[in-house]
Amino acid sequence: MRTAIISDIHGNIDALQAVLLDIKNRGIQNIYNLGDSLYGPLFPIETYKLLVKENIQNIRGNCDRILLDPNSNNPTVQYVQNLLEEEHKEWISNLPFSLQTEDFYFCHGTPTNDESYLLEEMSSNGSTLKKTEDILKLVNGISQNIIFCAHTHIPRVVYLPNNKIVINPGSVGLPAYEDTLPIYHKMESGSPYANYTIVTKRKDNWMIEQILIPYSREAAIIQSEKNGRSDWVKALQTGRI
Q: What tens digit of pLDDT does each residue of 187-205 get?
A: 999 999 999 999 999 988 9
Please report the pLDDT score of residue 128 as a whole number: 92
pTM, two decimal places: 0.97
Please report the pLDDT score of residue 181 as a whole number: 83
Please report the pLDDT score of residue 122 as a whole number: 87
Q: What's the pLDDT tens digit per position in 17-53?
A: 999 999 999 999 999 999 999 999 999 999 999 999 9
Q: Which amino acid is at 166?
A: V
% of the chain with per-residue pLDDT over 90: 93
Please report the pLDDT score of residue 204 as a whole number: 86
Residue range 158-166: mean pLDDT, rounded: 97
% of the chain with per-residue pLDDT over 70: 100
Question: Is the link from the previous residue into 41 a cis peptide, with omega within 30 of 0?
Answer: no
pLDDT grade for 213, boundaries at 50, 70 and 90:
very high
Please report the pLDDT score of residue 123 as a whole number: 78
- Closest C-alpha to 120, from 179, 77, 163: 179
Q: What's the pLDDT tens digit per position in 95-148?
A: 999 999 999 999 999 999 999 999 999 877 778 999 999 999 999 999 999 999
The residues spanned by each domain of the chain are 2-238
Q: Are 176 and 195 in contact (CB under 8 A)?
A: no
**Residue 122: burial class (beta carbons within 10 Å; 0-12, 13-18, 19+):** middle
DSSP state of 217: -
Beta strands in the chain (DSSP E): 2-6, 30-33, 56-58, 99-100, 104-106, 120-123, 126-129, 146-148, 156-159, 165-168, 176-179, 185-188, 194-202, 205-213
According to CATH, the superfamily of the domain at 2-238 is Metallo-dependent phosphatases (3.60.21.10)
Coil vs helix vs strand at 231: helix
Please report the pLDDT score of residue 14 as a whole number: 98
